[in-house]
Structure 1
Amino acid sequence: MRQPWRVAIVGGGISGLAAAVRLRDRAPAGTEITVYEQSGALGGKLRTGELAGQPVEFGAESFLMRDPAGGESAAVALARRLGLAGEIVHPTVGQAALAVDGGLRPVPGGTLVGVPGDLAKVTTVAQPAADADRDAGRPLLAPGADVSVGALVRSRLGDQVVDRLVDPMLGGVYAGRADDLSLVTTMPALARAARTEHTLVGAVRAAQAAAPRAPGAPVFGTLAGGLSRLVEAAATASGATIRRDAAVRELTPTATGWRLTVGPTRDPELVAADAVVLAVPARPAARLLAGVAPTAAATVGTLDYASVALITLALPEPALPALSGFLVPATEGLLIKASTFFTTKWGHLARPDGLALVRASVGRYGEEASLQVADADLADTVHRELSKVLGAALPAPVASHVQRWGGALPQYTPGHADRVAAVRAALRGAHPTLALAGAGYDGVGIPVCVRSGATAAEEIITALGGSAA
């Protein structure tokens, strides 16, 4: 292999940038890393903006502090690598609520993404089925099997637990429905436990015991000043050449690696690379793979996405409950599916003048038509529904912002993990210097995306001949 290596990263979201940082740390000195970002901004769904003079997240809000094994998450590790660990802040109010039957009820404790580990604790929100969760003398999930979260929980605990607890929890993260989402991909720890445990409550407890959390240890964190700081620091630390507004339209294998066709059709730029990390959503990835690995492209292209909008209101001295926010079951008939009381939840954002930032998420999978209205109408609907849930008219906002994320959240149907594994195995066999990274393959959330990018970088390093370490 010629030196220095030339690695192209297609996609400047956090997965692509994490891949760039790992390559800089582990690849031989002098490795040329270029990040191609189709838009004018890095970070993907990490975007810090400003409203009423206050920093606010227009995309992802926070990251998990721990990984599934109980150690620090990949997001925390990246922040530490970038010199930002001391800038991590945590929620000052952690209690969230569910909007049920026209009122707010605290989210029960002891659940795993809404799935109960103690049936008695969830009765304030939902009543488990009368014959709930009997031991049938065999594991809940067969080896290698996958089911939807909703199918498993409904069969064990009944409809109310799914509709009022699990579905809004998953909806807040994925904008999807529990009855459609893969257990293995969205709740891997529970899936592992379900392969040995005979009851769902037992599986939840086993999953929780496998990754114990110290009492009082924070679950979530963010960065003072906003998550865009993570993006900027990663771009700088990677030492990569950053190409914004640079659409990669075609990938072509060559005798020595890859040729990328970049830019407009009428004036394309042809770029040579030894290896490529594809860190873009599934559909653009499928288009780039179509001429390289048609079968893999067809599989990748089947992944569907939900569109959402985030509406942030700046409210003068509203009467808000001492909650981090609330989730809304689809059965409540509201457009809002989740809301965060930003300046309550994150104490470092509190303002002495009492101005509060409240953000609502709207849009569920399959209900994209609900988003096809003007920004002002969305903001008005959110203001009206927030007032309804809180039981009192909120003051008129002094400012508002609508951030639309079209095709933002992957919808992982059962069998997703096996399909992705098959695609990666096929690419590894035929094109070992091409790796996939991102939420479309490995799951949502900043830690998962960081880990996905870093893993893709390691695959490239191995394929090109090993690291400098």
Structure 2
Amino acid sequence: MTRPRVVVLGGGITGLSAALRLAESADVTLIEATDRLGGKIRTGADGIEDGAEQFLMRDPATGGPSGAARLATTLGLPIVHPAIGAAGLYTGGELRPMPGGTLMGIPSSTLDGFRVEAARDLDLGTPVLPPGADVAVGRLVRERLGDDVVDRLVDPLLGGVYAGRADLLSLATTMPALHGLLTTEHTLGAAVAQAQQRSRAHSAGAGPVFGAVAGGLSGLVDAAEAAAVRAGVQIRRGVRVTALRRTGEGMEILHGEEWLAAAGVLLAVPAIPAARMLTFLAPEASTAIAELEYASLGLVALVLPACELPEASGFLVPATEGLSIKAATFLSAKWPSLGADGEVVIRASLGRHGDSTVLQRADDDLVDIVRSEVSVVIDRPLPQPLRTRVTRWGGALPQYAPGHLDRVAAARAALAGLPITLAGAAYDGIGIPACVASGEAAADLLTESMI
């Protein structure tokens, strides 16, 4: 039986995961526009990550291994875990421990010992949300608990993950478990408590929450690439795809000056280039995904001589504090292998959706800003760095506006008659586990459409 030829566009972890799954039943060509695979996963020669530095070990929905943990295990890679997990929160000009009993900063009850003004979460006799409704996280929490909870707790936590604002991010997309409970519970606090209870049940005896690949996350990319090559996947780097067209037997992909025939195509690229390629083939799908906005991000790593840091893995900073940095991680405390010869490694992130002005500054300026502002937060001056690195990710993180899930569903429905599937953070969530799962699910869907 002749195996179909399929093409995966995009060589990030989504595309690699999809290619590995497709190679079980098809001949696969993976095309990446740049000269390297891995997308925003990139480990420096010094072991410091230029992108993601860890992944969730468990799937929040099932409690089973996350896509990233499963992939690493399948590839035979050793997984390491943070040495310290507790982060702080800089609020009111003071670095404090992150308050317990919250879900992405949303409290289930009164926050004893943490000075934040919270309105009373009233039971109005009906579920908080009607079935199928989606709202911005910030809007709902402001209505239920007031501005202070959003500005000082929820916004910095969501901002740390999405580089976005709570007032613009979809509840159904960013917190699906809580969203589902809000259609039955009468108060936000009760829904948060239920979500926390379920999470504890999933995590009981399950081990560490976060993990990484020993030696750096680029090892996951390298191992996935090696496995794909062994499975017969043809990988083409540095070639841009400029057009797709339908033929009587499937699809053709224009890359460089060559048309490549395929029975199916999996698009594991950001939403904007995917929308361009679908403009004429599937205009409704193109329109739906073209609406997605992205936030840009800057990461500044400081390698310092031995100095004292707070006992924490790092800290988050609300936008209301007036600082440019939104988070910092004490990497050498969290991952002791990075603290060779007593060096201290700190990595800070800058840039929020709708406010990327600071990212226009020169690298040296960003280094100075980070060193100065981290010193303010920890209330002690940092020494002159031994080495620094600035990494800029333009349009790095998708911003899930309310209704995101409906738009993605509409896009996929519009592609139902075509041998094309969509995968990646633009549609199914950010983070390595979500991207792995998205790539595999899209591969399965494409396989079914070709049978």
Instruction: State TM-score, norm by structure 1.
Output: 0.93
In the alignment, which residue of structure 2 is the partner of 1:198?
Answer: 186
CA contact (8 A) 2:271 2:289 kept: yes
Of the candidates 350, 363, 381, which is equivalent to residue 362 of structure 1?
Answer: 350
Q: Distance in 2 between matches of 1:144 and 1:161?
A: 25
In the alignment, which residue of structure 2 is the partner of 1:15?
Answer: 14
Amino acid at match of 2:127: P
What is the root-mean-square deviation of aligned Cα atoms in Å? Answer: 1.3
Q: Distance in 2 between matches of 1:72 and 1:320?
A: 33
Amino acid at match of 2:170: S
Q: CA deviation at 1:125?
A: 4.6
Matched, 1:109 2:95: no
Q: CA deviation at 1:210?
A: 2.6
Of the candidates 390, 410, 413, which is equivalent to residue 378 of structure 2?
Answer: 390
> Which moves more between the two structures, 309-318 or 340-349?
340-349
In the alignment, which residue of structure 1 is the partner of 2:177?
Answer: 189
In the alignment, which residue of structure 2 is the partner of 1:329?
Answer: 318
Equivalent position SS for 1:204: helix
> Which moves more between the two structures, 203-212 or 163-172?
203-212
> Which moves more between the two structures, 340-349 or 241-250?
340-349
In the alignment, which residue of structure 1 is the partner of 2:157?
Answer: 169
1:406-446 deviations in Å (ceiling 9; x for gaps): 00001110000011011101101x21x10000000111111
Q: CA deviation at 1:216?
A: 7.8
Matched, 1:272 2:261: yes
Q: Distance in 1 between matches of 2:106 and 2:206?
A: 21
Amino acid at match of 1:439: A
Equivalent position SS for 1:307: strand
> Which moves more between the two structures, 111-120 or 217-226?
111-120
In the alignment, which residue of structure 2 is the partner of 1:138?
Answer: 126
Q: Distance in 2 between matches of 1:224 and 1:459?
A: 32
CA contact (8 A) 2:80 2:211 kept: yes
In the alignment, which residue of structure 2 is the partner of 1:378?
Answer: 366
Q: Distance in 2 between matches of 1:118 and 1:324?
A: 25
| Gaps in structure 1 of 5+ consecutive residues | none
1:179-208 deviations in Å (ceiling 9; x for gaps): 000000011111011111111111112112
Q: Distance in 1 between matches of 2:205 and 2:382?
A: 36
1:348-380 deviations in Å (ceiling 9; x for gaps): 3332x2101100000001112221111111111
Amino acid at match of 2:118: P
Q: Distance in 1 between matches of 2:111 and 2:272?
A: 44
Of the candidates 9, 23, 41, which is equivalent to residue 36 of structure 2?
Answer: 41
Matched, 1:219 2:209: yes
In the alignment, which residue of structure 2 is the partner of 1:79?
Answer: 72
Q: Distance in 1 between matches of 2:206 and 2:377?
A: 30
Q: Distance in 2 between matches of 1:115 and 1:125?
A: 14
In the alignment, which residue of structure 1 is the partner of 2:224?
Answer: 234
Over the matched positions of the two proteins, sequence identity in percent amounts to 54
Equivalent position SS for 2:249: coil
In the alignment, which residue of structure 2 is the partner of 1:91?
Answer: 82
> Structure 1 residues 101, 120: CA separation in 2 closer, same or farther (over 3 Å shift)?
closer
Of the candidates 46, 52, 56, which is equivalent to residue 60 of structure 1?
Answer: 52
Equivalent position SS for 1:261: strand
Count how many residue pairs are aligned between Structure 1 and Structure 2.
445
> Which moves more between the two structures, 381-390 or 208-217?
208-217
Q: Distance in 2 between matches of 1:364 and 1:116?
A: 24
In the alignment, which residue of structure 2 is the partner of 1:401?
Answer: 389
CA contact (8 A) 1:379 1:400 kept: yes
Q: CA deviation at 1:243?
A: 0.9
Q: Distance in 2 between matches of 1:83 and 1:323?
A: 31
Amino acid at match of 2:313: S
> Which moves more between the two structures, 170-179 or 94-103?
94-103
In the alignment, which residue of structure 1 is the partner of 2:412?
Answer: 424
CA contact (8 A) 1:125 1:164 kept: no
Q: CA deviation at 1:226?
A: 0.6
1:162-182 deviations in Å (ceiling 9; x for gaps): 101100000001010000000
CA contact (8 A) 1:304 1:410 kept: yes
Q: CA deviation at 1:65?
A: 0.8
Q: CA deviation at 1:215?
A: 5.6
CA contact (8 A) 2:136 2:402 kept: yes
Q: Distance in 2 between matches of 1:97 and 1:155?
A: 26
Q: CA deviation at 1:22?
A: 1.2
> Structure 1 residues 120, 238: CA separation in 2 closer, same or farther (over 3 Å shift)?
same
Q: CA deviation at 1:217?
A: 2.6
Amino acid at match of 1:247: R
Of the candidates 105, 123, 139, which is equivalent to residue 151 of structure 1?
Answer: 139
Q: Distance in 1 between matches of 2:184 and 2:398?
A: 28
Q: Distance in 2 between matches of 1:81 and 1:114?
A: 34
Q: Distance in 1 between matches of 2:381 and 2:339?
A: 22
| Gaps in structure 2 of 5+ consecutive residues | none
Instruction: State TM-score, norm by structure 2.
Output: 0.96
Amino acid at match of 1:96: A
CA contact (8 A) 2:284 2:414 kept: no
CA contact (8 A) 2:99 2:111 kept: no
1:328-354 deviations in Å (ceiling 9; x for gaps): 000001010000000101233332x21
CA contact (8 A) 2:7 2:29 kept: yes
Of the candidates 242, 257, 271, which is equivalent to residue 282 of structure 1?
Answer: 271
CA contact (8 A) 2:339 2:345 kept: no
